[in-house]
Amino acid sequence: MIWRLTAGAVSAFAILASAMVVNAATASEGAPIRFGVQAPITGSYAEEGQGIEKAVRLLAEQQNAKGGLLGRQIEVTVCDDEGKPSQAAICARQLVNAKVVAVIGSYTSGAALAAEPIYAAANVLQTSDGTSNKLSEQGFKIWFGNAAPNSAEAEFTANYLVNVRAFKRIAVLTDHSSFATGLADEVVKNIAAVHGNVVDKAFVSADSQNFTPVLTKLKSLNPDVLYYSGYYSDGGLIRAQMQQLGMDAVFVGGDANQNVAFAKIAGAAAVGSVIVNVPAPQDLPYPAAKQFVADYKAKYGVLPPSVFTLTNADGMRAFLQAIETTKGTDASALEDYLHHVKDFQGLTGTFSWNDRGERTGSPFVAFEMQADGGYKILYPEPAK
């Protein structure tokens, strides 16, 4: 028994100690500027997480090829938070200890929230596509949301549904995720504010595929539009199942429906679906966006999984710009710069940050899927 105990103890400490040595070695040199990626590399959100990692690595590589940042090389440290809050908190500490200047991530609001106070305490900048109000409510100066907050999208959506399209019976559908319920709640609130009529707010279980029961129920309420605030993999399927059930309401989806897979899953039913978002990566009118998507495709052989890959890339690009402009990596100087930067030229549009770190001034559009797989912007009408 005793040898076992000692052996166990020794090996346990050997493992811990060796890990620590590795850590110490990587943290000691000062030359490169280090960026952290905290993202779900495994688990249900792996696709999005791996997309964020790829985008950040691509940007770092491009910057290094141009001679680096302030003449220093960029290094990227990635930590897999699995989309779990408990892992996120550990990742945050590991990235802080790895002496990163800024962190890109995480994909889910929950994981971003659990890490945020740790970055704040260490004065490490954080940018994430998380849209939960709680991320900006805590008043941390290091927080820079790179996707527009729910409130802005909801206001645009409500106006579009009620005033522009004049829908009389709106059904709202969401999954249970933090992001989608937050958006759905805001949309319902904003519809009420413009005196629209929501006939029902219903839920689907994400990933269950079996949405016909709730759609059958919604069909019996005769809505003229169905608004879905969740993700594309379910959204495409919801659109297909609406057609299968003979439901002729218009499908309007929130920004997370923006993915090439949506149209593939929905098949023929995708035509005529409307999605509210900043324009799609490959359809973004800005040359920089087209170039980035082309570079991404060239390096990885696939398109970015969603527009959030691009918004996170925007977060990283803003950090790069801030470091170049302030000629240093001092966190308070960077925060000050970013809070006051006017009209940052993002891949996903021109935007700024307010003092709570919320992205402002994003141009939302409502676009319709076309038979050829492309998109047509319906509103606001493009200037000719």
Residues 341-380 that bind other proteins (CB under 8 A): none
Please select the residue that binds other proteins; options are 33, 34, 41, 191, rule is CB under 8 A.
41
Q: What number of helices (H) and strands (E) belong to the chain? A: 13, 15
Query: Of 18-37, which residues contact other proteins (CB under 8 A)?
Result: 19-20, 23-24
CB of residue 380 to other proteins, shortest distance in Å: 31
217 binds other proteins (CB under 8 A): yes
Query: Of 250-289, which residues contact other proteins (CB under 8 A)?
Result: 261, 264-265, 267-268
- Measure CA 315 to chain center: 11
Q: Are strands 170-174 and 225-228 parallel, antiparallel or unpaired?
A: parallel
CB of residue 111 to other proteins, shortest distance in Å: 8
239 binds other proteins (CB under 8 A): no
Instruction: Choose one: 45-53, 161-169, 190-198, 287-295; the region binding other proteins (CB under 8 A).
Output: 45-53
- Please give the structure tokens belonging to residue 259: 């993915």
Closest CB to other proteins among residues 202, 369: 202
Query: Of 154-213, which residues contact other proteins (CB under 8 A)?
Result: 176-178, 181-182, 202-205, 207-210, 212-213
Closest CB to other proteins among residues 8, 382: 8
- CA 211, 217, 220, 222 dihedral sign is negative
What are the start-end ranges of the H helices in the chain? 2-28, 46-65, 85-97, 109-122, 133-137, 150-159, 178-193, 212-219, 232-244, 260-266, 287-300, 307-326, 331-340
What are the start-end ranges of the H helices in 194-282? 212-219, 232-244, 260-266
Compute the distance between CA of residue 291 and CA of residue 298 in angstroms, rounded to an integer. Answer: 10
Query: Of 84-123, which residues contact other proteins (CB under 8 A)?
Result: 84-86, 89-90, 93-94, 96-97, 108-110, 113-114, 117
Closest CB to other proteins among residues 41, 275: 41
Compute the distance between CA of residue 212 and CA of residue 240 in angstroms, rounded to an integer. Answer: 10
